[in-house]
A and B are shown apart, each in its own frame.
Chain A
């Protein structure tokens, strides 16, 4: 009985692994669904949420650590038309990730969930790492893009991840101390990694 968060370097196989482990454990897997949940809650289009995620910028830093700002939530619930900006995004993300976690028996991919749920007793936090060359290769094979495109994606995602976390005042997102387990998918197969992840959930 647990909640597992997966944080990862892009191309280390987080989504694939998350789905595998969820299937094995009989858990629900949350990744992109979170976007729709945010969109529904804020009463905006999912495109708007996606654009907020893409453009995560300066103001985000002030709010990631905050649990919630009543005035904004009130504003959303009373407005006839929805609205979302970075501030509201973070508030809602905190709420929605916690809501998901309360269901128990879930695996959540990314979105700072390792921070949002860091004090949750039944949460287990996993970090996936892999060598850059392996991550590029993974993206080429799994997403069917050229090596050049894959390289660009890996670098861009890493830069975005770093910028995002830095603005939250978090630079430690690849530090083992945040996590229960760090799995190196350059050195083990996804099946092996999945087996270890599942060991976290059971006794």
Chain B
């Protein structure tokens, strides 16, 4: 029963690699947007997490893997106010991520999971980095944006990431010491990154 946390600079291919690795390992996959949506909903009604768990047969993770988040473009183009500046409830994030982790065999993208689970005995922490130019290019092709749009999105997301970690009081999220493995997807193809993660977990 292992947990893989995949942290990444935006546009380094975290979701792509994470989903692939999860499939290869036969693990569930939970990305940051799903966690974000769940946290947002849970903030609204106090016992929401518990009620969902009851409905989903006591398994929050099961619920979340069926959850279909807003399409990425909708999120970007959506009302900025609710998206970028929204208050993150750190306690809520922590409890959601910790719950998912106890249910095990899951790949979790982002949302500070590398911090919340840093003492988890069966957690593997991976960071993906890439050159800014490559990250912009990735956004262009993967989400069909113009170069200008892509550059803006990358900038927005980098800022958002920084803000999230500021709420945790953390500034070291791109430093290697937090992770088992740091992979530079400007230099290594996604497919290789996926295989390395598989190797890390499956041995």
Contact = CB atoms under 8 A, between A and B. Distances in A.
A85 interface: no
Contact of B176 (A182, A196, A200): A182
A84 to B, nearest CB: 34
Given A176-B127, A177-B129, A177-B131, A196 B174 contact: no
A162 to B, nearest CB: 16
Contacts of A199: 192, 195-196, 199
B177 interface: yes
Contacts of B180: 183-184, 187-188
Interface string B166-203: 00000000101101111110111000100110011001
A135 to B, nearest CB: 11
Contact of A181 (B125, B188, B195, B203): B188
Contacts of B195: 199
A131 interface: yes
B184 A180 contact: yes
A174 interface: yes
Nearest to A183: B181
Contacts of B182: 127, 176, 179, 181-182, 184
Nearest to A196: B196
B199 A195 contact: yes
Interface of A: 124-125, 127, 129, 131, 174, 176-177, 179-184, 186-188, 192, 195-196, 199-200
9 contacts: A177-B184, A177-B186, A181-B183, A181-B196, A182-B176, A182-B179, A183-B180, A186-B177, A192-B200
Interface of B: 125, 127, 129, 131, 174, 176-177, 179-184, 186-188, 192, 195-196, 199-200, 203
Given A183-B181, A199-B196, 8 more contacts: A125-B187, A176-B176, A176-B184, A179-B182, A180-B184, A182-B127, A196-B181, A200-B188
